[in-house]
Structure 1
Amino acid sequence: MPDPLGPSDVPTAPRDITPEFLTRALRRGGREATGRIAAVTVAGGRHAGMFGSVRRLRVRYTDPQAHGPRSVMLKLPSREFAESRAFGALEARLYLQRARLLPDARTAEVYYCAEGGNGSVCLLLEDLGDAGFVRQYDGCTPDQASRALRAVAPVHARWWGRQLPGSAAWVRPPGQSLVGEFCRGWIHGYDGDWPDLLEPVMPRLAARYERVAGVLAAGPVTLVHGDFHSQNVSFAGEAADGPARLVDFQFVQRATGLQDVARFLATSLTTEVRRAAERDLLTEYLACLAAHGVTGYGFDACVADLRAALLWNLTTPVALHIRGITTEGRPWPTSMPILERCLTAVDDWDATRLL
């Protein structure tokens, strides 16, 4: 019988996850005791965005008492977004090297991770459920923000000012990263009018894109998640004050750790909550770095990096809006609440002084 786990057989759609394939994938992924699977059905998913399509698969075993997960999350490139395969490949590479690169990170368990010869990418991950994720629009509590920062700080501390292994040379600084190049192309290619919300900042940021990217890569740098917000952090399944778990590493980069911190503070807290809690959260983050061996990085350096990172927060959502306007003829949205939060944080920390 041909092995269904070869590089030419990497699944490209949910229908490709047959009972036989999933049985072998789970066993190859370390679930040796997994019983034989009788049926796999698609039962929705956490999201199906531009950078990846996520579906929940329900699993039924021939023996009801068999060992093995009863649901699995399937992540595939989005069919609506040409660059999705390249972003998926970055995440796959990270997971394939997770024991070396992310020993301190709490993530979903990875059951299967593969790149196919045809450019396909497939991940089968532990189902963390939907309840543990907080919509950015709703915003997190300060306690949840604390848990998120305590989850990512050990990752930052491990690689703080250190070279990554040679096998991770594909992890690039922001300006050279896949997402950085994506944003640069769309932002620099835009020649239309900016909406009033963006007019004060975006033309200046577009002109100084490389300068801001350079600040983020100036050091000390580390391994960063790159898209660290509340919908990529699970708060479920642990004690209320325990560290959270991280998912969706498609934007992984080599940059200041404040790139992740700024993304979470500006996008995943309401403005009122952020203003009340952010200095305490920054202080706690720095204390966590210090507890994991980082020295010589004080609050002033933290704020300098934070300012650049707050500006960088604007690039991805703005580039995605421009892409929709350019390729699909959409107008600028009349309301952009997350961008409004990001711009308010830029103002609060006087980040435009870098421009």
Structure 2
Amino acid sequence: MNGPVLIIGGGPAGMALALALRRKGIESRIVDARPRGAAKADARILALSHGSKLILETLGVWRDIPHTPIETIHVSHAGGLGRTVMRAAEEDVPALGYVLAAGDLAAALDAALGEIPYTDNTPAPQHPDALLVVHAEGRIDDAPDLVTRDYGQHAVICEARGDRPHGRIAWERFTPAGPVALLPFHDGYAVVLTCPAADSARIATLDDAAFLALLQQRFGPRVRLTAVGARLVYPLGLRMRRQVTGEREVWIGNAAQTLHPVAGQGFNLALRDIAELADTLTGAADPGDPALLARYAARRRLDRLATVEFTGSLVRLFSNDIGPLRHLRGAGLLALDLCPPARSFLARRMMFGARAW
């Protein structure tokens, strides 16, 4: 036996799980089909919640990840009145979230692995010699119980500069073509511009001046943008396994679900899965015991399903220009802004998941 837990996939989810297991005294090893360090080249920008920061602190890697705090989140929608603002001070936390480069996160996790066995350039074994196999190899290609939802949208991501300091404010603007997010990142912004899938290639390849004009028109006048960087395009949609456990198997991270990036819940959900799995396996003589895995799946069901539904509902409710819905959205945002308990409920839901209360 080469170790009780085999982790397939050496990306951020797989490495974070290996560190979480080590902290609980559980041996693991990683096997990845890619060269070690491939995840350091990930160009995406992540928004991690305060709850995720606490998890990464327990893993001993947070101090090594460059990050920009989000102290205020401003949410609005185009074409109508109504907006809401959430502030870290109201929740008695230093920041609601943090913006960081996925490549920097991967580098910090990799550096912390130490002596944890890591085999790269190796396909997943057909007959693993382990008591438990954890799949963390990324996007789900096929599964008998796979749930998919095509939102007909792509995300065009880039970095941008504004005409004044960002003030650690994150902006989420819902428009009929999809949400636009400006996240404070270093001394500028990380931009997520959602657009119809059929139009994403054209938009991404506009010259800087034309793209900047389109982005400004979509976002509105609250922040004046002065420059943009190179653009990348990512398809958006939901891909989710109904069951995240099998016979001596568990799926985590994008191997369990990929979500629309609205509200930035994807990797935050993965970290909560990882923390729960490590806690569940602590002290177990057999980490692949069916009763143990069933307990893990039951503990994660509420948060997982609620996060998927929350994300999907935001996309369905806000990515259209139906008159009655537009007025309903505005009224809802205004009511949220006028009701501190409801606003706090949403803020804590985004920071800690569906079990925050």
Per the normalisation by structure 2, the TM-score is 0.27
* Higher RCO, Cα 8 Å, sep 6+: 2
Higher helix share: 1
Per the normalisation by structure 1, the TM-score is 0.27
